[in-house]
Structure 1
């Protein structure tokens, strides 16, 4: 991790105050999640690389399903979307498929609040008994968040390249 320090023209360090905490609200979307597609697509494209993005139709397909569970975070007071958690409910399990938080809103507790809301709703509304997710092991902030929420490491998926043709 790199740290920077700014100095004034006299060579004295410039003290920066910590950024103000964002004000936001988390909403659980039980029905008709497809109505949020346009907003979600904007965040999806801004958050994920092309290979990881569902902007090319996967997101719309998921939102149309009856087993989708969605939580969104909106900034106060303007109501702009700043994050979402998309899950699928399969019997007694809830699978966390996507977590996205706008880059300028990260490290504010938004992902945690959305995850808490979705897990609570999954247990109460969907009667889920377990939850699963996949995360890249190098995504340390996400791994730490999920562990702090009670997720336990179950294994690794390892990708490997295709055989070389000679």
Structure 2
């Protein structure tokens, strides 16, 4: 019986491994993210292969509500190179996000506020599953971006001074 419990522990350790596949640094610069949530994605086989090879681009992506579901739009996943064109996927197709109903309702209520939108932040491997972190954010104004850059440069200077 003790051997079985050890096997369970090994499996849970594997599930906690994260491997970042794509990151949307542009969204973190353009939006003030107030809330994040982890979602699964409905993918085709060739899309999974391409994402594992690092051929995904989240930069122009956003999420939209349609028929009580959240769809991921305008995310480019390159076609897999070792598959013929007949079996390959459309690079910019709409992909359904897998969330619980309560989470969808919560996200919808958050985005109904003025200026709020849902953007993809990162795409990563969690165990054997591909997950997406989405965030509810409000677009930053130019002066907000400048202020963030100033704070970042001040922080860099402090860190470099402390290392000396």
Normalising by the residue count of structure 2, what TM-score does the alignment of the two structures yield?
0.25
More strand by proportion, 1 or 2?
2
More helix by proportion, 1 or 2?
2
**RCO higher in 1 or 2 (8 Å CA, sep ≥ 6)?**
2
